[in-house]
Structure 1
């Protein structure tokens, strides 16, 4: 019979990982700011007052302050019109002090999310939700400018925790555009064998039991039980759900999609478990930072042709679209047609995303 000590989970210290990456980003931001005399600016747009969205945005803004990024706050009422929201996005697109734009999802039902996201300038789409970025993510051999934040953060946590993905059976619980679908694509790129469990999946418990790695992102409080997880599995819980709690000043607390306490108590060998079982230990939130803020001029280290080549790499090839719609020999030529800069004297900020990430939240886990 297993002893009580056998029923303890090994916890990923997400807080330590987040702090390490924040420290790295803070140094980089400081160096870039000194070199180019510009402070990186991130606009965070939120519509309405959803509890989970407010929590996410608050942590993003706090993290910006910690690493030296200017947070441009855009808070809009629930009943804002789609046209007014898009107008705000357009203003941010041309604001030289804003180098990245996040529109907090989900948006109210009367607003077309796809339309709003497609209006964000692709070079400021740090959430990676622009159709061109998502399209590139979905195709082998393509490289989007930005990757969706939380999915990339899941892989970053696994990597920094020494957990191999190649060949592993990974179950993604949830198929949202924000986490489930993109994280499944990233895991496929990392050579995992991926199964997606969703609301119409028959017998999800038996499927989850087979997983070496579980990414819980369904948005249903504590739906994954301890008995569903096989010994040795690695779990990342990115669900954030508000449930009523009269003991809290706010009247609610945040929990994940995994029943954290049951998982810790039930299993004798959980290899790694990430969850947010209390508002004091909220969540992991990851966004691609503005990794390179390059001050550009026509006589500096980058020229129009390089800029055009970088942007053309985002465009479909002739095999990816009908030639009658966009023949490959008729792609937009001048760089300013695509990125909104003056090619006679290029000045401003061009953002290039690298693989590094900024973990934009404090995370802690009870032992």
Structure 2
């Protein structure tokens, strides 16, 4: 029988701990969020983060950056936030407006304020498995928290990450590798026959390509753990990148969409922000 990995339940546990940590700090915690106001998805997501942050005692400063901005002007904004002692953490909400070079903006965020762990410095620490504290992109770190909560073994397991984005696939593969899994990275352009072979060997499958029902249950290894990071809308209904119905009875564990990885992402971002506050206190 397939068991659901309840991200909403685990996120609540994380949020409760985060709220307690906020009360022990000497100064307010403030998360600055840079986002494209013309992107409906970003507007929705930023609003959700702000409401959840307020419930945990975290202040937010939402800063719209429209299509009239340039990469240089956004970097200048980031640098001003880096120098602002009242700002604890900075989040650059992707995607920004067309023409703005996101990776340059990500890496302009000071490592000690990089709430989403997307800058080159902290990602280098992740891939180097650094011993000192650093932040990790919220979605893959949230996935690891979910796996740990449900005591799903990682060490020595075969893991397949389908997706190679800077926000998910690349850091996800590094986290699993650091946890002693044997990791392969595939993506939407991997030959279908090759992807099917890889899936049949994978004990853990983490998928984030943005294509509804990209992976079918018949493609999975019996007993696999499936992490679905996809969030698509099909016929007005939220749908993941894995065909949820056909995965039933094949996967031992699977994240639902919605209610799986999404709540973990927001909880982990706010957890990261408080961690930065503690480190910099």
> Structures share a fold, TM > 0.5?
yes
Pairs aligned (count) = 275
Unaligned residue ranges in structure 1 (runs of 5+): 1-7, 246-252, 295-348, 352-367
After TM superposition, the score normalised by the length of structure 1 is 0.69
Which region of structure 1 is more displaced relative to structure 2, 56-65 or 15-24? 56-65
Partners in 1 of 2:175 and 2:183 — Cα distance?
A: 10
How far did residue 108 of structure 1 move? 3.0
Aligned partner of 2:15 in structure 1 is 22
Q: 1:235 aligns with which of 205, 221, 226?
A: 226
SS at match of 1:293: helix
Look up the match of 1:220.
211
Q: Deviations over 1:185-210 (max 9, x none)?
A: 11111000111111332221221122
Structure 2 regions of 5+ residues with no counterpart?
none
Query: Residue 273 in 1 paired to residue 246 in 2?
Result: no
Aligned equivalents of 2:110, 2:262: Cα separation in 1 = 31
- Name the structure 1 match of 2:52: 63
Distance 2:114 2:124 in 1: 13
The 5 Å alignment of 1:59-208 reads: 59-141=48-130, 143=132, 145-202=134-191, 203=193, 204-208=195-199
Of structures 1 and 2, the larger Rg is shown by 1
- Number of the residue aligned with 1:254: 238
For 1:200 and 1:229, the matched residues in 2 are separated by 18
Structure having the larger proportion of residues in helix: 2
> Higher relative CO (CA 8 A, sep ≥ 6), structure 1 or 2?
2
**2:257 match: secondary structure:** coil
**In structure 2, C-alpha distance between the alignment counterparts of 1:206 and 1:24, rounded to whole Å:** 41
- TM-score normalised to structure 2 length: 0.89
Segments of 4+ in structure 1 off by > 6 A? Answer: none
The offset of 1:243, in angstroms, is 4.0
CA contact (8 A) 1:44 1:101 kept: yes
| Partner SS state of residue 122, structure 2 | helix
Are the counterparts in 2 of residues 52 and 242 from structure 1 also a CA contact under 8 Å?
no
Per-residue deviation at 1:216? 0.8
